[in-house]
Amino acid sequence: MKKGVKIVTIGGGSSYTPELVEGFIKRYHELPIRELWLVDIEAGREKLEIVGNMAKRMVKAANIDCEVHLTLDRREALKDADFVTTQFRVGLLEARIKDERIPLSHGIIGQETNGAGGMFKAFRTIPVILGIVEDMSELCPDAWLINFTNPAGMVTEAVLRYGKWDKVIGLCNVPIGAIKSASDVLGKPEEDLFFKFAGINHLHWHRIFDKDGTELTETVIDGLYGPNANPGKVVENIKNMRFLYEQVKHLKMLPCPYHRYYYMTDAMLEEELASFKNEGTRGEVVKKLEDSLFELYKDPNLDHKPEELSKRGGAHYSDAACEIINSIYNNKGTLMVVSTRNNGAIDDVPYDSAVEITSVIRAHGAEPVNFGKFPPAQRGLLQVMKSMEELTIEAAVTGDYATALQAFTSNPLVPSGDLAKTILDEMLEAHKEFLPQFAK
C-alpha cells in the first residue's frame, strides 16, 4: 500500500463515529491516515455536519496530519480509497422502530437483528451494500470493506456471494463484550486467555482456555449463570442476561447474549411486550439517547469521545474496526472474532457461507481458526438459522415474495402460516419506500 492511508466511512454521520476517530488517533503511529472521508445521505446531512465537525476538532486536538472530509457524494469519497467502513442504517431509526413495533403488535418478538425485524433490516440493507461494492469495484478495486452494519453476518455473506467481493470482513461488538465479561469473572487479563468462538453473527458459542491450555469454560458458565451468579450486562440492547443454568451447563460452551431469543423466547417476549406498552421499544429509547448525544457533539469545545456514547449499545464496534484495519495494513496477525468466509472451519455449515469465528487478521484478510463439528444442540439451531439467512439474502437480492415468505416460515421467532404472511405483508407496506426490489 502507498504511504498514507485513505479511509472512507459510509454512514459517517453515525453517533459511533467519534469512537472510530478516537481509534484511528490512538493508532496513528502505526496506521498513518492521511484522509478520512465521512459520507452520508441527504437525510443525514445535519448529523454528518455535527459529528464531522467534532471529528475535525478531535484530529486537531490530537495534532495529527489527517484531513477530514465531509460529503454526500459517495463516489467522490470512494476514489482511490484503501479501506471502506460501513455503519449505515437504511430508513434511519424510524425503520428500526417499525421493525420492532409491527411484530410486537402481533404478539411476537420485535428486534433489530432477530426475527421478522432482523430479516427486514437485511431486505433494506443488502441492496445498498451491493451498490457500494459495485462503486468500489470501479473506484477503489483494491480496497478492503470493513462492515459493521447489521445484520453483519448476512451483509457479509451477501457481499461474498452476490457482490463477488472477497476483501470483506464483518464485525460485531458482542464477542468483545463476552471476552471482557469472562475476563472479569476469572479475574485474569484478556491477553492471558484464549477465546475460541464459532457460529454466525448473533448466534455464536465460545470456549475459553488459559495460557497452560486448561479449559475454563465451565468456570465462567458457573460465574455468569450459576445459582449465585450476577451476570451483569454484555450488550446494552438486552436487559436481562438470565439463562436456564442446567441448559447452558449442558452446552459446555458459552452462549451469545442473543441466544436468549431462542433459549428463553417466552421471557424475552414478555419483557419486550412490557417495554412496548410502557417506555417504548429499544429503538425508541435509542432515538432519545442519540438526540442527547448529538446535543453533546454540538459543543464547539468537545474534542474527545464522551462517556455517554458507551450507553448507545454498540460500544467497542468502532475501535475493533480500527484494529482490523491496523492488522491488515501492518500484517499483525491479531486474533479477532469476525464474520468471514467459512472455508471449512466449521463442518456444519456450507464452505462458502459467512461465519462468525475467531480468526487471524493478516494482510491477506481473516484466516478462520478451525473449529470442527458442533454437538447436536448447537448444530441443529445453527443450521436452521443459516438456512434462514440464505433465504433472507436471496429474497433481499431478488425481491421474490415467495422466498421472503419462506424465510419468514423458517425463522424460529416467526410463527408459520397465515400470521407469518400477515406480518410480512404489513412490513412490506410499511417499508416500501426502501424496498424497491419487491415492487413488482
Q: Which residues are catalytic?
A: 258
Helix ranges, 5-73 (H): 17-26, 45-62
Left (φ > 0), alpha (ψ -120 to 50) or beta: where does 207 sit?
A: beta
Question: Which grid cell is 73?
Answer: 457524494
Cβ neighbours of residue 118 under 8 Å, at least 6 residues apart?
99, 111, 112, 150, 151
Say how far apart CA 100 and CA 272 lie, in whole Å.
9
Whether the link from the prior residue into 151 is cis, omega within 30° of 0, is yes
Q: In the sheet where 334-341 sits, what is the strand order?
A: 67-71, 33-39, 5-10, 83-86, 144-147, 168-170, 334-341, 354-362, 365-368
Question: Are 166 and 189 spatial neighbours (Cβ–Cβ below 8 Å)?
Answer: no
- CA nearest to 123, candidates 317, 422, 356, 408: 408
Left (φ > 0), alpha (ψ -120 to 50) or beta: where does 365 sit?
A: left
How long, in residues, is the chain? 440
Question: Letter for the amino acid at 224?
Answer: L
Burial class (CB in 10 A: 0-12, 13-18, 19+), 277: exposed
Q: Return the number of other C-beta atoms located less than 10 Å from residue 349's C-beta.
A: 24
